[in-house]
């Protein structure tokens, strides 16, 4: 159980275009999803916390107008990288946390990641 | 906010030897400490975790110890095998209403030589 999927798994786009990444919890409901960015050989850096039905909370230094997050349901959160530039190229990973009361409530289940390359 | 330091950044051991990775954290409110294993280009996989109400937890060849007073916790892998080679991340999470966000350490690249 506790499977999280991401789509697409990789994407190459031209500079200036927008890219949408989907994160889905497949077999559980998640009130909270997290979006991370990971540069090569570096750690996971939290970008934002996404709560179903409310605005995302962004970490310091992350532009909310550039990285649009929508958490429309208990099983889906999307990250849109707007007007992508080469410096946005990275590995984007989401994670999902189960509903309060679930045995795995305090765990985060990670998606497989999306590798974005902006030319 | 929380700050998690992880050492060493790289670790090379001979197959069969033990490996130890150490992390320190700054926020005394943190009470959940997971360890993740990440292979190249793949998602982090939870391998073991510990909560602040225990000092040690073991799962076969993997163990984690926690010293809340000193604010540090360690991962111990015994009888290492080549398939243990990966990047390992420690993390810390506070018990608050902000969603239990994880703060990750910088990672340790473990190489197990056959």
Percent of chain A with pLDDT over 70: 94
Cβ separation A43–B34 shorter than 8 A = no
Band of the pLDDT at A82, cuts 50, 70, 90?
very high
User: CB–CB of B44 and A106 under 8 A?
Assistant: no
Contact A110 B44 (CB under 8 A): yes
Which residues touch B90 (CB under 8 Å, ≥6 apart)? B4, B6, B21, B23, B33, B34, B35, B36, B73, B75, B104, B105
More confident of the two residues B52 and B20:
B20
pLDDT greater at residue A41 or residue A62:
A62
Average pLDDT for residues A94-99, to the nearest whole number? 86
Q: Using alpha carbons, list the distances in angstroms from residue A9 to A3, A51, B55.
A: 15, 23, 38
* A88-112 mean pLDDT: 84
Q: How many CB pairs under 8 A join A and B?
A: 52
**Of A21-25, A26-30, A76-80, B15-19, minimum mean pLDDT range:** A26-30
Instruction: Give the chain B residue whose CA is nearest to the CA of A98.
Output: B99
Is any Cβ of chain B less than 8 angstroms from the Cβ of A111? yes
pLDDT digits (tens, 9 = 90+) for B13-40: 999 999 999 999 999 989 889 999 999 8
Mean pLDDT of chain A: 91
Q: Do B89 and A97 touch (CB under 8 A)?
A: no
Query: Helix (H, G, I), strand (E, B), or coil: what is residue A86?
Result: helix
Segment B48-55 shows an average pLDDT of: 87
Question: Nearest-CA distance from B103 to chain A in Å?
Answer: 8
- On the question of pLDDT at B107 being above 80, the answer is yes
């Amino acid at each position: 159980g506790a499977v999280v999927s991401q789509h697409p798994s990789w994407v190459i786009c031209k500079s200036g275009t927008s890219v949408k990444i989907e994160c889905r919890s497949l077999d559980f409901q998640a009130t909270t999803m997290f979006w991370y960015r990971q540069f090569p050989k570096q750690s996971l850096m939290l970008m934002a916390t996404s709560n179903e039905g409310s605005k995302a909370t962004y970490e310091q230094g992350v532009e909310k107008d550039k990285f649009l997050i929508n958490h429309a349901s208990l099983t889906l959160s999307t990250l849109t990288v707007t007007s992508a530039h080469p410096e946005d190229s990275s590995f984007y990973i989401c994670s999902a946390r189960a509903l309060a009361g679930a045995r795995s409530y305090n765990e985060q289940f990670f998606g497989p990641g999306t590798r974005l390359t902006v030319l | 906010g929380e700050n998690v330091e992880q050492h060493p950044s790289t670790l090379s051991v001979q197959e069969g030897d033990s490996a130890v990775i150490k992390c320190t954290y700054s926020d005394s409110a943190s009470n959940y400490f997971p360890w993740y294993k990440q292979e190249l280009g793949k998602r982090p996989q939870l391998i073991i975790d510990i909560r602040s109400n225990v000092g040690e937890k073991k799962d076969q060849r993997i163990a984690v110890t926690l010293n809340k007073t000193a604010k540090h916790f360690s991962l111990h892998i015994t009888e290492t095998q080549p398939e243990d080679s990966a990047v390992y991340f420690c993390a810390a999470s506070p018990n608050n209403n902000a969603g239990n966000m994880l703060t990750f350490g910088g990672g340790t690249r473990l190489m197990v030589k056959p």
